[in-house]
Amino acid sequence: MNDNSSESRYDQTTAEQSLATTEFKEALPPNCPPDGAKNPVTQVVLRLVSSQDVSEEDFFSYAKLGKKPHFDVCPCLLASCSVFSSSSGHHRIGAHIKLPKLRERKYVAKVKLTPQSGLVQYANSNSGHIDLWMFSTFNPLENVLEVLDVKSI
C-alpha cells in the first residue's frame, strides 16, 4: 500500500453517506467529523495504551477524559481517538511517549480498522498520525490484535 495515495488509505464511502446512517461512540461537537473525514480501508493502526490489559478507557478521546491539551486544538480533533499508521507511525511513537500527558502510556496496541470502524482523517504522510472518530458499533477491544511494550517497537 502506498501511504502517499489518499485513495489507498480511504474506502470509497463518503463521510456524508456514513453520517446519514451512523452514530458515533462519543458525543461530538458541531460539524464533526470534518468534511474531509472518510472511512478507512482495512488496516492495522497503533494506539498508545497504559498497560498490557487494554481497557475501553484506553480508546477514549481527550474530550471524553476531560483532559486539556497543552496547545490550542480544534474541539473536533480533541474528540477523536489518536492512532498512528503501522507503516509510518513507529518512529513517532518514541517521540510521543516523551510528552507529559503520554508518559504513563508504556504499551502500544495494534488495532485492526475496517471501513465499519468509523471515520478517519490523516494528518500528513510524514507523521503517521490519524484522527479516528469511532462508530458506536465499533468495539476497539475486540479489534486489538496484540499489545507490545513500547520499547520493542
Cell of 142: 475486540
Q: What is residue 1's predicted lDDT score, i.e. its pLDDT?
A: 40
| Entry pTM | 0.78
Work out the mean pLDDT of the chain and round it to a whole number: 79
| pLDDT at res. 139 | 97
Residue 118 C-alpha from the chain's centroid? 10
Question: What pLDDT digit, counting tens, does each position of 101-128 carry?
Answer: 445 657 889 999 999 999 999 886 677 8
- Give start and end residues of each alpha helix (H) in the chain: 6-9, 15-21, 62-65, 75-78, 90-96
Quote the pLDDT of residue 18: 45
pLDDT, residue 90, reads: 52
Query: Which segments in the chain show pLDDT lower than 70?
Result: 1-22, 69-71, 88-105, 124-125, 151-153
pLDDT value of position 94 = 52
Lookup: cell for 137: 458499533
* Count of CB atoms situated within 10 Å of the CB of 112: 14
